[in-house]
Structure 1
Amino acid sequence: MESFGTFGLIAIIVVLFFLFLYYVPVVMWFSALVTGVRISLLQLILMRIRKVPPSAIVRAMIEAHKAGLHDVKRDELEAHYLAGGHIERVVHALVSASKANIDLSFKMATAIDLAGRDVFEAVQMSVNPKVIDTPPVSAVAKDGIQLIAKARVTVRANIKQLVGGAGEDTVLARVGEGIVSSIGSAASHKSVLENPDSISKLVLNKGLDAGTAFEILSIDIADIDIGKNIGAELMMDQAEADKNIAQAKAEERRAMAVALEQEMKAKAQEARAKVIEAEAEVPLAMAEAFRNGNLGIMDYVKYKNIEADTAMRESLSKQTPGNKSKKDKDDKIS
């Protein structure tokens, strides 16, 4: 029992020792003291209570102190960490900006970091400009020939515009718009192929980097390819559309003519029916005349003879010239 009690006591002492080292970071306090950073042991303990990692704060202060950045304060680092910022990126950016003679204050750096941008990468881009390749941009010259251009845009980060400035996508969109405008204003695609630098000059003069987080240093046309003959295709499409319209109008006129023909046939059938109806009244009228004594039997005979003579004349008039000549031969023979 005594050995168990001794073992338990030792375990409690070890646990208390580690808890003491956790809440009282003596090692970090000593390293800060050695490097010349003034921070009290009480402040490190309060950082643990405020759930701020003392190691990150101490490392950032040591790095800033060694780089000669004496305006970096512990309270400001803690406030930036509690606001969700990256204190290591901020201190790295401040050190890089100081070495490159770039005017970057701690307040500006923390604002850029809290805005969601990588402030350290922005400082590096200010020292070493970045080259952005644009996607293929299609444009049509005034002669109707399509050109497909690719450009390389060299940009440098504009530290003062990183907060609230437009991003890389806006720069690419503006450059593409400038390329389309430049090619579209050219009288011939040949002039664009002969002088591709005219596109770069025209686009650069438009000040496309205004309101963005970048400064455009140069725009170089990497490649220009000839695409389709858009003008000819549009003329062909227009001619095909005109032909279809003309065919539709002709079909409409034909349908109207067919409808008119059918209407005339219907009117002719209607008139023929009226004639047949009138002819059917003749026998009835004759019978009524017989009954009333207005028509005699001799009058009826004369009517039939006239009708027979008329039928004979009509049959003779319908004979062909060949039949008539044969009849004349028969008459001569007889």
Structure 2
Amino acid sequence: MDGLITTIIIFVVAILVISIFLSFVPLGLWISTLAAGVKVSIFNLVGMRLRRVTPTKIVLPLIKSTKAGINMNVNQLEAHYLAGGNVDKVIDALIAAQRASIDLPFEKAAAIDLAGRDVLEAVKMSVNPKVIETPNVSAVSKDGIELLVKARVTVRANLERLVGGAGETTILARVGEGIVTTVGSSEAHKEVLENPDKISQTVLNKGLDAGSAFEILSIDIADIDVGRNIGAQLQTLQAEADKKIAQAKAEERRAMAVAKEQEMRAEVVAAEAEVPRAMAQALREGKLGIMDYYDMQNVISDTNMRNSISKSGKDKPSIGNEKDNPNKG
């Protein structure tokens, strides 16, 4: 009984040891390398485990490159992996470049990948150029008419300038700037509508792909729409602004006139206030007699009475002639 228990314990321990060994040592992957004819030692695979490198992400791309006839070594791929690169995509890009007869060394492909660009997509774009479309670019000709231009730009990736070169956004911005310049220099919008290729030629002659990661092959005008009459709108806005300025100046003159009138009325009231004082002074000095004062008061009263009668006469309703009155006896 004791012998059976000991045998079971030994068997379990052996299974655990084998499981730990197989999980730490990629034996199956090593056998795959032997079958593919790739020289990778078992100790090298164990070293990858110790360096926290996933062996499959190194060995499988290495097998792929070997089968494609590209000489690579483990240290190159492992260094690129430790630097944060995508080893599998770099190998795919190298294979695609080799098939397309494009000179792309591993160092250049690794640098493009580490720069954050899709190296495989760049190789594909070098073989098959890409068409990028600009949004509607608003440009105004000299006659004040707005044109909405949409262009299609055919570009090819330039692998030599892919590291540090400008991207698609810069190309679109430069093309838009060229469209605005070309339309803005035209005397009339009809010239652009009649010869849209004038925009393409002008933009291409500017060398917009300088310093970019792409080579511009062609610029084709896809659509031109006539927009607003910007010149008329500007004239309308200017006329409205002139109108407001004139109204403000007129209001300023009216306010000054009202202020002047009130000032003159104040002077009249002030002068009328001096009359009683002057009369009192004249009475004290004997220059004005008491009867003269009463006569002046009578004249003032008579004038006020006449004014009251004239105002009441205007307020009375008009009375027709006697022959128009049917009740007349």
- Offset of residue 128 of structure 1: 1.2
TM-score norm. by structure 1 comes to 0.84
Specify the alignment match of 1:222 in structure 2.
Answer: 222
Displacement after TM superposition at 1:7 (Å): 3.1
Instruction: State the distance in 1 between where 2:36 and 2:13 align.
Output: 34
Q: 1:20–1:157: structure 2 CA closer, same or farther, 3 Å change rule?
A: same
Q: Distance in 2 between matches of 1:57 and 1:304?
A: 132
Look up the match of 1:160. Answer: 160
Q: Does residue 208 of structure 1 match 2:198?
A: no
User: Structure 1 residues 172-181 or 226-235, which shifts more?
Assistant: 172-181
**Partner Cα distance (1:9, 1:213) in 2:** 64
Matches within 5 A, 1:1-334: 2=2, 3-70=4-71, 72-286=72-286
The SS at the match of 2:9 is: helix
Q: Which amino acid aligns with 1:240?
A: E
User: More deviation in 96-105 or 58-67?
Assistant: 58-67
Structure 2 match to 1:322: none
TM-score (norm 2): 0.85
Letter in 1 for 2:75: D
Q: In the TM superposition, what whole-angstrom CA distance separates every residue of 1:73-104 from its partner, at most 9, and x where no partner exists?
A: 21111111111111000100000001101111
CA distance in 2, matches of 1:23, 1:147: 68
Aligned-pair CA distance for 1:56: 2.1
Residue type at the aligned position of 1:125: M
Q: What is the letter of the counterpart of residue 162 of structure 2?
A: L
1:164 deviates by 0.9
Partner secondary structure for residue 216 of structure 1: strand
- Distance (whole Å) between structure 2 residues aligned to residue 18 and residue 34 of structure 1: 23
Amino acid at match of 2:199: I
What residue identity is the alignment partner of 2:154?
A: T
Structure 1: runs of 5 or more not aligned? 290-294, 319-334
Shift of 1:21: 2.4
Q: In structure 1, what is the Cα distance between the partners aligned to 2:19 and 2:127? A: 46
2 CA distance for matches of 1:231 and 1:58? 68
Question: 2:110, 2:11 → 1: CA distance?
Answer: 47
Query: 1:321 corresponds to which residue?
Result: none
Measure how far apart 1:276 and its partner are: 2.7
* CA apart distance, 1:304: 5.3
- Measured after TM superposition, the shift of residue 4 of structure 1 is 4.3
Offset from partner CA, 1:101-137 (integer Å, 9 cap, x none): 1111100111111111111111111111111111111
Distance across 2 between alignment mates of 1:9 and 1:139: 85
Secondary structure of the 1:51 match is: coil
Q: What is the CA–CA distance in structure 2 between the aligned matches of 1:136 and 1:15, rounded to whole Å?
A: 68
Instruction: Kindly provide the amino acid, as one letter, of the partner of residue 243 in structure 1.
Output: K
Shift of the 279–48 alpha-carbon distance from structure 1 to 2, 3 Å rule, reads: same
C-alpha deviation, 1:23, in angstroms: 3.2
Q: Could you list the per-position Cα deviations for residues 5-62 of structure 1 after superposition, in whole angstroms to 9, with x for gaps in the alignment?
A: 4333222212222222233333322322232222222212211211212222221111
Output the aligned Cα RMSD: 2.6
Between structure 1 and structure 2, the one with the greater Rg is 1
> CA 1:130–1:4 in structure 2 vs 1: closer, same or farther (change >3 Å)?
farther
Q: Indicate the larger mover: 222-231 or 19-28.
A: 19-28
Structure 2: segments with no counterpart, 5+ residues? 307-329
Residues in 2 aligned to 1:233 and 1:120: alpha-carbon distance in whole angstroms: 51
1:226 alignment partner, SS class: strand
- The C-alpha deviation readout for 1:176-230, integer Å capped at 9, x for no partner, is 1111111111111111111111111111111111111111111111111111101
Q: Distance in 2 between matches of 1:41 and 1:273?
A: 124
Deviates more, 1:3-12 or 1:200-209: 3-12
